[in-house]
Structures are given as C-alpha cells and as structure tokens.
C-alpha cells in the first residue's frame, strides 16, 4: 500500500531478479484489495484511506518504512504488525525477511546505514567517555589527585577508570598509556602560564654594559649589547 509510484516501481524493479519467489502488486485505495500473502505499508499511511483486505483472505501486515527508530518499531509491533523491515535493506536481505514473515515468523530488521556506521565507530573506539577523559589527563601529565579534583571523582573512582582503560588498550604502565594516548590524539591542550605570557608580551630593553678601559689608551665608548634569549645563536 503505497501512494508514490516511484516507490512502487522501484520496489518492483528491485525484486524482479527474485520473481520466482516474490512479486509486487500495487494496491490503491480506490481499487479492490488484491489477494496477497503480505501487505507492506508505510507506518504513517496505514489508515490513510486504505481499504482493508477481505476477511476471508487475511493478510499479514508488514511495516516498511524509513523511520527505523526503536519508537517507530515498537509502535507498529504494538499495533499488530507481523514484522518491520527497513526501506534501506538490500534486495536479497529484504526478500529473505519477507519470506520468513510469510512463513509465520515475526521479523524485525530495522537496519540503516547510520546505525551501521555508529556501531562500527563504537567497536573501533574501545573507551568510554569517562575513560577517555581520564586517559587524556594522564597524557597531559596530571597526577591522580589532580584528575580527581578536576573531574569531581574520588581517588578510587579515578583508579578504577584507569584500570579499565589500561585493560581495554592493553597496557600495563603509565608510560605505555601516555604513548597510546599520544598515538590516538588524546593530548589535552595545556593552559598557558600567565607569568610567561606576560613576560613574553613585554618589550625587551637593551642592556648597557660598561667596557673597561686599558691603561694608557683612549676611552672607549660603551657598547649596547642586546640580551641573549634562550635558543638564540651566540654572536662571535
């Protein structure tokens, strides 16, 4: 039961290679109900002027939609749907699900590309949010007491998160944990030292150093010697 010709023709073309197992029959609200084994419907269009199937040929209703959230699935299953299948499913997976439902089983396949991507990302990153935070503070050189103060956790909780993180990333020492954090981009930005920042902004005045005059020679003028900063090459 679908109002959009695009979806009807698209579904028919997608399932055409499996015509020996399944066929698509379009059902319009202004026409007679066809005799079918399953009725696919968009959840929010189920009762929108659609004529019910004849009682002497009962059909199993299958929700077929884009919204595959847990709320949408539970709502349709509570309404008596025999199954819920996602419109994101590839043809072979969709056919397999429909055949299972037609055989009397209850199938829910709410797969979406977004859910798959989120699952892959969760499997790739082993740490919880709190373990990640604690490990990044360790990489920044903070002691357990400092981590506890900044996160409002007890020392025992901090140690528990550290043990959990060490177990997941398979390290046994703080130095190994720091190396792992650096390799995975967990270095927290350090706060600038206000004293150093103030001194760096101040202009540097040249220092006048008196030059001793050897006996019997003309006086030599005082030379202006700029200060030597760390990292500057020494003048020869």
Give the tens place of pLDDT for each residue, 23-39.
988 877 677 777 889 99
- For the 125-183 domain, the top CATH level (class) is mainly alpha
How far is it, in rounded angstroms, from Cα 22 to Cα 42? Answer: 19
pLDDT given for residue 179 in this prediction:
86
Query: Is pLDDT of 53 > 50?
Result: no
> Nearest-CA neighbor of 182 among 191, 172, 169?
169
What is the band of 222 on the pLDDT scale with cuts at 50, 70, 90? low
Domain spans, the chain: 5-116, 125-183
Interatomic CA distance for residues 46 and 60, integer angstroms: 13
Fold of 5-116: Rossmann fold (3.40.50)
Range of lowest pLDDT (66-70, 106-110, 132-136, 208-212)? 208-212
Residue 193 confidence class, pLDDT cut points 50, 70, 90:
very low
Same fold, 5-116 and 125-183: no
User: Does the pLDDT value for residue 48 go beyond 50?
Assistant: no
| Average pLDDT of the segment spanning 147-173 | 92
Residue 228 has pLDDT above 80, yes or no: no
pLDDT at 1: 82
Contact 167, 159 (CB under 8 A): no
């Amino acid at each position: 039961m679908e109002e959009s010709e695009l979806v009807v023709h698209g579904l028919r073309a997608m399932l055409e290679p499996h015509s020996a197992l399944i066929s698509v029959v379009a059902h319009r609200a202004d026409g007679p109900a066809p005799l079918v084994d399953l009725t696919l419907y968009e959840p929010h269009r189920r009762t929108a002027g659609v004529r019910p199937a004849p009682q002497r040929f009962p059909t199993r209703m299958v929700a077929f939609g884009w919204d595959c959230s847990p709320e949408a699935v539970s709502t349709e299953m509570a309404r008596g749907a025999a199954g819920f299948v996602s419109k994101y499913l590839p043809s072979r997976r969709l056919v397999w699900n429909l055949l299972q439902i037609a055989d009397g089983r209850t199938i829910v396949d709410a797969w979406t590309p977004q859910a798959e991507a989120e699952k892959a990302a969760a499997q790739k990153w082993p740490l919880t949010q709190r373990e990640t935070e604690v490990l990044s503070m360790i990489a920044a050189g903070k002691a357990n007491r400092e981590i506890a103060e900044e996160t409002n956790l007890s020392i025992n909780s901090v140690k528990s998160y550290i043990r959990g993180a060490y177990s997941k990333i398979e390290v046994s020492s703080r130095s190994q944990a720091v190396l792992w954090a650096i390799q995975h981009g967990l270095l927290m930005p350090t706060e600038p030292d206000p004293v150093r920042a103030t001194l760096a902004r101040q202009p540097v005045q040249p220092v006048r150093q008196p030059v001793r005059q050897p006996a019997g020679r003309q006086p030599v003028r005082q030379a202006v010697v700029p200060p030597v900063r760390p990292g500057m090459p020494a003048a020869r």
